[in-house]
Amino acid sequence: MRTFFIILFLIFADISFASVIHVGKNEAYNSIHAALQKANTGDTIFINEGIYAEGEIKITKSVKLIGKNFPVIDGRNKSQVISVYVNHVLIEGFKIINGGYSSVYDWAGIKLVQCDSCIIRNNILINNNFGIYLQASANCIIANNKISSNNPDELLSGNAIHCWKSSYITIKNNDVSGHRDGIYFEFVINSLIQNNYSHNNVRYGLHFMFSHNNSFIKNIFQKNPSGIAVMYSHGVTMLYNRFEQNWGSAAYGILMKDISDSRVQKNIFRNNTVAIHMEGSARMLVENNEFISNGWALEVQASCNDNIFKHNNFESNSFDVGTNGTMQLNTFTENYWDKYEGYDLNRDGIGDVPYRPVSMYSMVIEQSPPAVMLFRSFLVGILDKTEKVLPAVIPEGLKDDKPLMKKIPL
């Protein structure tokens, strides 16, 4: 009972001390700096419409900053715009523009340094070096922000949402474009990336390394020159994402390097140069995905093992699977391949002849890249056909023993 009263008292104490501060032309304070100086922990600061160019705004008290009608906070290309150093901060409804560039510090539109339980939502960030930057933070939510930049330079540009050494982060419903990487994770664990739209970035739509047990759900990655790169992580879950039009000589739907024990399910890959490129990856489950009109649907290097490719649809891809060795330790089963020419005598929906998704020509290119000169020539067509009948060059083990006759409805 005593503890209950203490808790009750603490709650009321918190509420009773928290006050509301207004910032604006005709309000008590006309600068955010002044308001922050007066504010106490737990206060709510409302900021009216207007342009606020006050240099870097450092938040060292747990306050709620709420913008009315998107007040503009201008970094005037000189400094970081907002930085947060405490827990329980809310930043909502701002238009944050022109964050500065520094070659020494990673300056951002909003930077969280060692923060816990902060919320950044409904903001518009334009032309900042880094957009939202999380450094050693936890339990933060970044939602409904629109982050864009127009810096075409890969070296001078920063990432839209950059997370470093953080955990339990939720990134939801953001629209990120024009930055170096759309979403960047390094040493981030147990986080969720959901419903984001990452498009037209300078390099990767999503880039993460050494980040374990994260989930990517229902995101759309479009027109990123290098696609998406996931590296050196395990326990990654990718569900219901769409990877589209990542087209170019160095573009991938997903580039997976040293990824293990992960799931890639129910995703759609359309018009990518390479839908999935896999290197040194193990124990992955690639299931119920759609691969449509890609250059290569899968590039599975010989360094991958124990991966399962099951119940996927492969349609109108130039090459279904490419590989660089004859050794194959992965399982392909019950996929639908539109190039399959076998038959089904007992009508159980499973083809009676195994399908070999690697074409002779893709092996030839792998061994001798200049052989692309013969791409789509008569000779290549004939070679592929002969190899289908009498396999000699293509990896013996890489085949789908149970190819499906009909497309899987997904």
Backbone angles phi, psi at 81, to 5 degrees: -95, -60
Would you say 110 or 365 has its CB closer to another protein? 365
Chosen residue from 9, 368, 385, 410 binding another protein by CB under 8 A: 368
Which part of the chain contacts another protein (CB under 8 A), choosing from 138-146, 173-181, 313-321, 343-351? 313-321
376 binds another protein (CB under 8 A): yes
Chosen residue from 1, 103, 369, 392 binding another protein by CB under 8 A: 369
SS3 of 358-391:
ECHHHHHHHHCHHHHHHCCCHHHHHHHHHHHHCC
295 binds another protein (CB under 8 A): yes
Would you say 184 or 319 has its CB closer to another protein? 319
Report how many residues bind another protein under the rule CB under 8 A: 28
392 binds another protein (CB under 8 A): no
Q: At what angle do helices 360-367 and 378-389 cross, to 10 degrees?
A: 120
Backbone angles phi, psi at 301, to 5 degrees: -75, 160
CA dihedral 185, 189, 195, 201 (to 10 degrees): 10
380 binds another protein (CB under 8 A): yes
Residue by residue, DSSP assigns 38-59 as: H--TT-EEEE-SSEE--S-EEE
- Residue span 233-262 as binding mask against another protein, x where in contact by CB under 8 A, dash where not: --------------xxx-x-----------
Would you say 109 or 227 has its CB closer to another protein? 227
Tell me the residue type at 29. Answer: Y
Short-list 132, 151, 145, 125, CA closest to 197:
145
Chosen residue from 374, 393, 405, 408 binding another protein by CB under 8 A: 374
Q: At its nearest, how many Å lie between another protein and the CB of residue 341?
A: 18
Would you say 187 or 247 has its CB closer to another protein? 247
19 binds another protein (CB under 8 A): no
200 binds another protein (CB under 8 A): no
Q: Cα separation of 111 and 131, whole Å?
A: 8
371 binds another protein (CB under 8 A): yes
What is the enclosing helix (H) or strand (E) of 242?
Answer: strand 242-244
